[in-house]
Chains A and B, each alone.
Chain A
């Protein structure tokens, strides 16, 4: 994860020692305070700007364009009339995202592994994986809807198409990241394909693979909401609600829904951050961590 830069140093008194000491502080990122203050400052600035626009710049009759933060919280999250459908929508979108991510992860790792095992598999599949990645979801959604109806299955399929490619490419790239000397060592001792995959290639692929899965997990959230937005039928997920609130000019609820979708993505991202640390933290990238 990218760590935000430390707070700007206080005006430096003259003296070489101070000049020499500063870069070290920047590299280690300082203590807990130095890590937490910058994002909080950004948040406060952002909220301040929000209040400025909504309370000062907008007239009363146009305030619906950007209601102030406390109004969003009060209307979308504290009023049970709105909270109930939002939470139901969130649960549905989270389920779709999780199912879509699981399928994309399994399928992506399988396809990426197959590609790594034979050039002809890679040559026959990779271009179409790229094509799928580039295909506009906008065009894909109705077609998937026609074929699989507008229920859970279709939503999951759309999510898979959005999240699949990063998994494939991360798997392929990761499995290739073992160096020639390591391969030679295994060859020397008669390792077959399976042994090579299990003992060398998959462990070596972990950093790339997990980062790819992390990206895919956030994309799955986006995919589930976007897919939902276009379906407008079946049980309403976050996407359907967003469209509904948009049509009714219910900006508070609209922003609340967007906020929930963001939170879902952030949770997915953070869970993978923890997993990455747990799995590869002891050996990968420890070179540039301060010791």
Chain B
């Protein structure tokens, strides 16, 4: 479970990134946060992961393993794919044999069995992101924070990785907070979509997505999907009206 209540984050130079932000993610829920670029989406994840502290309000994360997938793969170029995946297990002090075994399994989960000994420079952008995902999975997290993880990929690669992510989540019963600026991506993956205002960011509305799972790619051409996407887009397009409606 993740919870943020009245959270604000103002940086040392006076810029307010977030203000009065409320957000709750229940156990086993998949929630996406969409918002215009620069609205503080990444700051939100940094606060939840403990990399940053709020200047107002309270942030609570349930005890348990937290996985964080950054916007960039952030791989260490001198390590092979397998050794990159092992890195966080090393940092958490797992014994060598256990690390090896887990890294192998995590790479298999993201479909990179044959690339354990490849260095990042030899991998494509999508493959690097898969390694990054495997690195997060190696500690068997209960909660996943994802920061526009596939934003740098082309649409096909992105769709495929999103599908695989949905599968992983469904299998593992993970709690997920997914940050993106793509409405379609948010709707197709989530149980609920939270919409953020431009900076200083706050949650200005939430849209439940009661579509059945598993959700095949063609789902996005169906009317129900379209209506939900339109609802999210409307909130994004007119934050002022969204706020009036939420207070009314």
The answer to whether A188 and B51 touch across the interface, beta carbons within 8 angstroms, is yes
Is B140 an interface residue, CB under 8 A from the partner?
A: no
The answer to whether B49 and A283 touch across the interface, beta carbons within 8 angstroms, is: no
CB interface residues, A 270-290, toward B, < 8 Å: 280, 282-284, 286-287
Query: CB of B92 within 8 A of chain A?
Result: yes
Quick one: CB contact mask for B50-87 with A, threshold 8 Å, 1 for yes? 11000000000000000010111010111000000001
Contact A286 B87 (CB under 8 A): no
Interface residues in B, total, Cβ within 8 A: 21
A45, B17: Cα distance in complex, Å: 65
Given contacts A188-B68, A189-B88, A195-B91, contact A283 B74 (CB under 8 A): no
- Tally of A-B Cβ pairs under 8 angstroms: 51
Q: How far is the CB of A115 from chain B (nearest CB, A)?
A: 23
Distance in angstroms between the alpha carbons of A283 and B50 in the assembled complex = 32
- Our pick among B71, B78, B87 for the contact of A283 (Cβ within 8 Å) is B78
- Report which of A184, A189, A206 forms a contact with B91, defined as CB distance below 8 A: A189
Known A184-B51, A282-B119, A283-B119; judge A191-B91 contact (CB<8 A). Answer: yes
Q: How far is the CB of B129 from chain A (nearest CB, A)?
A: 13
Confirm or deny: B5 has a beta carbon within 8 angstroms of a beta carbon on chain A: no
Q: What are the interface flags for A120-141 relative to B under an 8 Å C-beta threshold, 1 for contact and 0 otherwise?
A: 0000000000000000000000
> B88 contacts which of A185, A206, A286 (Cβ < 8 Å)?
A185
A67 to B78, CA, bound (A): 51
Chain B: which residue is nearest A180 at the CB level? Answer: B74
Other-chain residue from B71, B78, B91, B119 in contact with A186 (beta carbon distance below 8 A): B91
Contact A206 B78 (CB under 8 A): yes
Q: Within A169-188, which residues are at the interface with B (CB < 8 Å)? A: 179, 181-182, 184-188
Any B CB within 8 A of the CB of A200: yes
Which one, A184, A191, A284, contacts B77 given CB within 8 A?
Answer: A284
Cα–Cα distance between A282 and B121 once the two chains are bound (Å) = 9
A282–B50 alpha-carbon span in the complex (Å):
35
A25 lies within 8 A of chain B by Cβ: no
**For residue B208, which residues in chain A have a CB less than 8 angstroms away from its CB?**
none
Chain B residues contacting A184 (CB-CB under 8 Å) are 46, 51, 70, 74
Cβ 8 A contact of B72, one of A181, A187, A189, A199: A181
Q: Does B90 count as interface, using CB distance less than 8 angstroms?
A: yes
Chain A residue at minimal CB-CB distance from B91: A189
Interface residues on A, range: 20 to 34
- Smallest CB–CB gap between A282 and chain B, Å? 7
Q: Does A69 contact B (CB under 8 A)?
A: no
Instruction: Give chain A residues whose Cβ lies under 8 Å from the Cβ of B120.
Output: 283
> Which of A179, A185, A203, A284 lies at the interface centre, i.e. has the most chain B CB atoms within 10 A of its CB?
A185
Q: Chain B residues with Cβ under 8 A from A280's Cβ?
A: 78
Whether the Cβ atoms of B68 and A200 lie closer than 8 Å is no
Q: Please, which residue of chain B has its CB at the minimum distance from the CB of A285?
A: B121
Contact B70 A185 (CB under 8 A): yes
Contact code string A247-268 (vs B, CB < 8 Å = 1, else 0): 0000000000000000000000
- Option from A182, A186, A206, A283 in Cβ contact (under 8 Å) with B121: A283
Residue of B nearest to A178 (CB): B76
List of B residues within 8 angstroms of A284 by Cβ: 77-78
CB-CB under 8 A from A203, the residues of chain B are 76, 78
Q: Which of B50, B71, B74, B121 contacts A185 (CB 8 A)?
A: B74
Within 8 Å by CB of B74, from A181, A191, A206, lies A181
Q: What separation, in Å, do the CA atoms of A189 and B91 have in the docked complex?
A: 6
Chain B, 82-115, CB within 8 A of any chain A CB? 87-88, 90-92
Does A10 interact with chain B (Cβ within 8 Å)? Answer: no
Give which listed residue, B51, B74, B87, B122, contacts A199 with CB less than 8 A.
Answer: B87
Q: With an 8 A cutoff between CB atoms, is A23 at the interface?
A: no
Looking at A184, A187, A206, which has the most chain B CB atoms within 10 Å of its CB? Answer: A184
For chain B, residues 110 to 161, give those with C-beta under 8 angstroms from any C-beta of chain A.
Answer: 119-122
- The yes or no answer to A11 lying at the interface (CB within 8 A) is no
Residues of the A chain whose Cβ atoms lie less than 8 Å from the Cβ of B49: 188
B16-44 toward A: CB 8 Å interface, digit per residue (1/0)? 00000000000000000000000000000
Considering the complex, give the chain A residue whose CB is closest to the CB of B66. A188
How far in angstroms is the closest Cβ of chain A from B12?
Answer: 16
Minimal beta-carbon separation of B47 from chain A (angstroms): 13
Q: Is A190 located at the chain interface by the 8 A CB criterion?
A: yes
Q: Which 9 pairs show the lowest CB-CB distances between chains A and B?
A: A181-B74, A189-B91, A283-B78, A283-B77, A286-B121, A203-B78, A283-B119, A181-B70, A182-B74
- Which A residues contact B (CB, under 8 angstroms)? 179, 181-182, 184-191, 195, 199-200, 203-204, 206, 280, 282-284, 286-287
Question: 6 A-B pairs, CB-CB below 8 angstroms?
Answer: A184-B46, A186-B91, A190-B92, A200-B76, A284-B77, A286-B121
Q: A181-B71, A182-B76, A199-B87 are in contact. List 16 more A-B contacts (CB 8 A).
A: A181-B70, A181-B74, A184-B46, A185-B74, A188-B49, A188-B51, A188-B68, A190-B92, A191-B91, A200-B76, A203-B76, A204-B78, A206-B78, A280-B78, A286-B121, A286-B122
